[in-house]
Structure 1
Amino acid sequence: MKKILSTRVLVKICVLTTILLVLIIYTIWGNSALMVSMVNISSDRIASAFSNFRIAQVSDLHNAEFGESNTELIELLSEHEPDIIVITGDLIDAGHTDIEIAFDFIKQAVQIAPVYFVTGNHEANFSHYDQFKTGLEASGVTVLEDEAIQLVHNNEMITLIGLSDSDFTIKGDMFNEAPAMVNTKLNSLIDDENSYTILLSHRPELFETYVCCGVDLVLCGHAHGGQFRLPFIGGLVAPNQGLFPKYDSGLYTDEKTNMVVSRGLGNSIIPFRFNNRPEVVLVELNTE
């Protein structure tokens, strides 16, 4: 009887050890295995010249590297031949900033397509942001700080707006102050209701404000996919959204506004993610 019991205990230990090892290997792989998430956006407001226009979204890199000098990330971007690349904040990590990693990536990315950048909360909390911005612009990146520009393709246009992260100006009650501030900014920037409008903003939790302002398409990050993704449930926790965030990954639609939330690429306070592979989002525009 004792031998049978000891055998059963040994089997249980072996099974549990195997499960633990599988989870560890899966987690390690899941933090380094890049993937591309395709999102198709169709609208009769999109100018015909922008049909099949491809936007590669890079978000929340946090100084992570995928291959030496981010070779794997650059190869993935190049393979999908985007018309533009947009970076929706947190290219660096304020806690352990390595500007050279960021610039190495940028210098290669601008060789693939025009690059547009908006800040995240980590840029807002980086004491040398002005120097960082200067370096980005010197490398050929268009930094959008609460401004709108026109993208021209085959003599037709769409509007691209970039918002600076709210952490630059709000140091108190973000939940109550940010919506009004962003509403004011967007109303001053959207001056042509006939132009299809794409907004680059780090924060998905402000979706209701983007809808109220009539933005057509929003590209966001910040939520890190909820960090730990649970089957059939989704993300577990996200900055400024707390437990079981409403906007953590993928496409959300309300009225005429679409919002794409990238799960991002790197990690910050929590050093790993689970069931939540790092992603580049590839948005393709199409005319209905």
Structure 2
Amino acid sequence: MKILLCFITVFFIFLIYVWAENKMLIVRKYKISLNKNSGENLRIVQISDLHKKKYPQNWNRLYTKIKSLSPDFIIISGDLVSRNQTEFEYTGKLIERLCSICPVFYAKGNHELDLSSENMSKLREIVIRNGAVFLENQKFQFKKNNTALNIYGADLKNSVYTNNEGGYSNLEEYHANGLQEIFGEPQSLSLLIAHNPFFFSEYSKWGADVTFSGHVHAGIVNTPFGGLLSPERKFFPKYTKGIYENNGKKMVVSAGIGKLRIFNPSEILYLELEI
């Protein structure tokens, strides 16, 4: 009986901890040098995978933390909403507040791809009306002083996330020539927003200096051996959160903000980019 009571007590303490942790919001800071010798430093905030997460008082806690970082621009790397959402006005309020801080660049994740065409049109209209740059296989040039950055937003196909039966076997691969067909050769100082990090080798082969991804929610459960599970139901995925490098190219993977998380608090990612 004592063992059972001890187990129940520990279980309830664990539940309370998970509940409290899912209310947390932390800032993780990273630094990357591209060695382009421009002498320019950029402050970039990345958020990802909000899904249905909401913060009271018109997103005030998220807004306040981001504003305190004084970013040059904000990147939203997909899954701003969940696939079964039909109303996006609260999302629009977030975009409006973020755009009052600095420019905001947004590209789709797999949940946006699953929206009906009607709901996708509603989301697009709200995001653009509230001031964000919605990059759907498009490029935007951002300038700071004498430095120009090319920011690309890639729409990956649904088939890289799920198969025709909605499962996770035999998924389609994504290749550098897909980016080449859409964007052509990357211009100097190229940042790519691509929700799925598992094609990093292809993004770097195409020539993205820095890729911004999310999708994995840092493996949902953080363990001493890394993130536990990918959205494709693979254990200990290769990319979960933080900075990765391939042939001199970098990838920044956000741990995300929304959905259930264990030992894995919601994150605002702050990147100081030396160019």
What TM-score, normalized to structure 2? 0.90
Instruction: Tell whether the 8 Å contact from 1:88 to 1:221 is kept in structure 2 after alignment.
Output: yes
1:212 partnered with 2:170:
no
- Following TM superposition, by how much is the alpha carbon of 1:249 offset from its aligned partner in structure 2, in angstroms? 1.0
- Following TM superposition, by how much is the alpha carbon of 1:192 offset from its aligned partner in structure 2, in angstroms? 5.2
Relative to structure 1, the CA distance from residue 94 to residue 109 in structure 2 (aligned partners, 3 Å threshold; closer, same or farther) is: same
1:255 partnered with 2:244:
no
Q: Once superposed, what is the RMSD of the aligned Cα atoms? A: 2.2
- Following TM superposition, by how much is the alpha carbon of 1:178 offset from its aligned partner in structure 2, in angstroms? 3.8
**Match of residue 103 from structure 2:** 114
Q: Unpaired segments of 5 or more residues in structure 2?
A: none
1:197 partnered with 2:185:
no
**Match of residue 275 from structure 1:** 263
Question: Which of 31, 34, 45 is residue 36 of structure 2 equivalent to?
Answer: 45
Whole-angstrom distance in 2 between the partners of 1:169 and 1:234: 23
3-state DSSP class of the match of 2:174? helix
1:59 partnered with 2:48:
yes
The one-letter code of the counterpart of 1:45 is K
- Following TM superposition, by how much is the alpha carbon of 1:123 offset from its aligned partner in structure 2, in angstroms? 0.8
- Following TM superposition, by how much is the alpha carbon of 1:240 offset from its aligned partner in structure 2, in angstroms? 3.4
Q: Deviations over 1:114-136 (max 9, x none)?
A: 11110111111111102211221
Instruction: Tell whether the 8 Å contact from 2:45 to 2:268 is kept in structure 1 after alignment.
Output: yes
Instruction: Tell whether the 8 Å contact from 1:63 to 1:98 is kept in structure 2 after alignment.
Output: no
**Match of residue 19 from structure 1:** 10
The one-letter code of the counterpart of 1:39 is Y
**Match of residue 177 from structure 1:** 172
Q: Deviations over 1:46-105 (max 9, x none)?
A: 6323x1x11110100002112332211111111111110111111111124431221121
The one-letter code of the counterpart of 1:84 is F
1:36 partnered with 2:36:
no
3-state DSSP class of the match of 1:40? strand
**Match of residue 4 from structure 1:** none
Relative to structure 1, the CA distance from residue 117 to residue 201 in structure 2 (aligned partners, 3 Å threshold; closer, same or farther) is: same
**Match of residue 139 from structure 1:** 130
Q: Unpaired segments of 5 or more residues in structure 1?
A: 1-8
- Following TM superposition, by how much is the alpha carbon of 1:197 offset from its aligned partner in structure 2, in angstroms? 1.1
Whole-angstrom distance in 1 between the partners of 2:232 and 2:190: 25
Relative to structure 1, the CA distance from residue 192 to residue 245 in structure 2 (aligned partners, 3 Å threshold; closer, same or farther) is: closer
Count, aligned residues: 269
Whole-angstrom distance in 1 between the partners of 2:162 and 2:5: 51
What TM-score, normalized to structure 1? 0.86
Mean Cα deviation higher: 204-213 or 163-172: 163-172
Instruction: Tell whether the 8 Å contact from 2:163 to 2:171 is kept in structure 1 after alignment.
Output: no
The one-letter code of the counterpart of 1:86 is I
Mean Cα deviation higher: 169-178 or 80-89: 169-178
3-state DSSP class of the match of 1:275? coil
The one-letter code of the counterpart of 2:262 is F
1:78 partnered with 2:67:
yes
Larger Rg belongs to: 1
